[in-house]
Structure 1
Amino acid sequence: MASLSNKVIWVTGASSGIGEALAIALSRKGARLILSARRTEELDRVKQNCVGEAQLLPLDLTAADTLDDVTRKALSLYGHIDVLINNGGISQRSFVHETGMDVYRRIMEVNFFGGIALTRNLVSHFVSRKQGQFVVISSVTGKYGTPFRSGYAASKHALHGFYDAVRAEYWKDNVRVTMVCPGVVKTAISYSALKGDGSKNNKMDDLQSKGMPVEKCADAIVNAMENERDEVYIGGKEVLMIYIKRFFPSLFSKIIRKVVVR
């Protein structure tokens, strides 16, 4: 089992939800943290709840022209980085026919392009040190799509293809990839989810309100990091659907069309 003590871990999307819970859990493991998100005041609040070292590095994953400079700043904070946790993301609450293309593009910019830009910037650093780990917060919707989440599911599916390639290309350099697929977790993600016109959903979904406690999810992710798991599924019965789709695709199609996801 790999120790996280004294590891330099960069967490994006650290201002709330899974990112916040991960930051606190990792700080208790003795990690040295770099906390990133757009809202500096929220990052500072999270930092106050961490123990040990934590540096703040605001970023906007949609500002592609800033991400090279942000990566250089991240590397300068402790002199190196051991782990990047790509957690920054945004969800969706709309049917395909009512969703503007600008909404799909924004989801892809945040959930896919921003994270892989940071990965591309860091991979040479990991290779030069012959160690490094990318931890990617995907979703069970990275394994199967559901109604009302077409763009969100597409962005998460894209992550799996990209990081499967990263894992295969750099395994000889001791660069590890851990894909994390949470199910329904009780966070505020449904509030900031985009509706078809690009406006925020601004409410807690019934399903989300009954989800797994975020602290429990964070503990499971930390365990997957320590064990350098390639892929881990975290949740309840929604995880079972991954296996139903894999082994009984026709049955999956019949079930998923009836699923209520809002």
Structure 2
Amino acid sequence: MAGFENKWIWITGASSGLGRAMALVFSKENANLILSSRNVDKLEDVRNECTGTGRKEILTLDLQSESEFPEKVDQALSFGGAIDILINNGGISQRAQAVNTQPEVARKLFEVNFFGTIELTRQVLPSMIDRNRGHIVVISSVVGKFGSPLRSTYSASKHALHGYFDSLRFEVQDNGIDVSIICPGFIQTEVSRNALTANGNPQGKMDNKTSKGLTPEEFGSKVLNAIRKRKKEAYIGKYEVLGVHVKRFLPNLFHKIISRSEVT
């Protein structure tokens, strides 16, 4: 299995949650890290937590500011001359009924979760194609495989990622480039606190099921293994990941289970 020592790994959404967890585990592998998000102070905190012998560079990035992407990609490439693995982790969740979700909120969810992600990937790809190797990793969600109440637009944005990156995988496989889609379930992060409500304000509280999910450390260990194996798709969580298979093979049962569940 491939190692990560001296590999250049660019992680978006690296200032907290899953991004922070991945930065910590890859630093232990002596990878060179490029840590991106909008919050430079939190990125500094994550960099200080990282261990290992690899370099740790900070590159601020707003996934809604696509006009800045060419400059940001050039900066990322200038650190070590290559991006071996791009981990598209930046994103935002939702907690609102579809009927109440304002159009600008729905658009923001897609701008961050989908359009920003695919455009950053598109601009990184030429450097990977030139080297005839690379690895694109996308952090989706189990609700990228099935819908759930209060997450209509969020789920739709994650479904869109699957369609795009499943297609991209076929297009770049002859260029030595792998594409992995990672689908987390409930992980103990601030994702539910930061989730957008119908008017765009953060929910401001942690969901009960999120608080009982995997720890970020457990997620980090599992995602590192999935990326090392270059898995095309991986589901990381507890019982909730079974929903992917129940929805596929027993859709009526899946509907009954979700209908009877307390969803927050």
TM-score band (shorter)? over 0.9
CA distance in 1, matches of 2:214, 2:150: 21
Name the amino acid aligned to 1:13. Answer: G
CA distance in 2, matches of 1:24, 1:63: 27
User: What TM-score does the superposition give when structure 1 sets the normalisation length?
Assistant: 0.98
The yes-or-no answer on 1:49 pairing with 2:44 is no
Residue 257 (structure 1) shift: 2.0
| Aligned residue in 1 for 2:260 | 258
The yes-or-no answer on 1:137 pairing with 2:139 is yes
The yes-or-no answer on 1:106 pairing with 2:114 is no
Residue 84 (structure 1) shift: 0.2
| Aligned residue in 1 for 2:173 | 171
SS at match of 1:186: coil
User: Is 65-74 or 169-178 further displaced after alignment?
Assistant: 65-74
CA distance in 1, matches of 2:18, 2:37: 13
CA distance in 1, matches of 2:170, 2:224: 23
| Aligned residue in 2 for 1:148 | 150
CA distance in 2, matches of 1:205, 1:240: 20
CA distance in 1, matches of 2:192, 2:247: 25
CA distance in 2, matches of 1:252, 1:153: 16
User: What TM-score does the superposition give when structure 2 sets the normalisation length?
Assistant: 0.98
CA distance in 1, matches of 2:263, 2:73: 36
SS at match of 1:204: coil
| Aligned residue in 2 for 1:230 | 232
| Aligned residue in 2 for 1:36 | 36
SS at match of 1:261: coil
Name the amino acid aligned to 1:56. Answer: I
Name the amino acid aligned to 2:216. Answer: V
Selected match of 1:64 from 57, 63, 66: 66
Long gaps (5+) in structure 2: none
Task: Please give the per-residue CA displacement for 1:205-260, whole angstroms capped at 9, x wherever unaligned.
Answer: 11111111011001101001111111001111111111111111121122222222
Name the amino acid aligned to 2:3. Answer: S
SS at match of 1:127: helix
Give the aligned length. 262
Residue 23 (structure 1) shift: 0.2
SS at match of 1:221: helix
Coordinate RMSD, CA, aligned: 0.8
Task: Please give the per-residue CA displacement for 1:130-179, whole angstroms capped at 9, x wherever unaligned.
Answer: 10001110000010010000011001100000000110001011100111
User: Is 52-61 or 64-73 further displaced after alignment?
Assistant: 64-73
CA distance in 1, matches of 2:116, 2:35: 16
The yes-or-no answer on 1:183 pairing with 2:182 is no
SS at match of 1:25: helix
Name the amino acid aligned to 1:31. Answer: A
Between the aligned residues of both structures, percent identity stands at 45
Name the amino acid aligned to 2:105. Answer: V
CA distance in 2, matches of 1:184, 1:35: 23
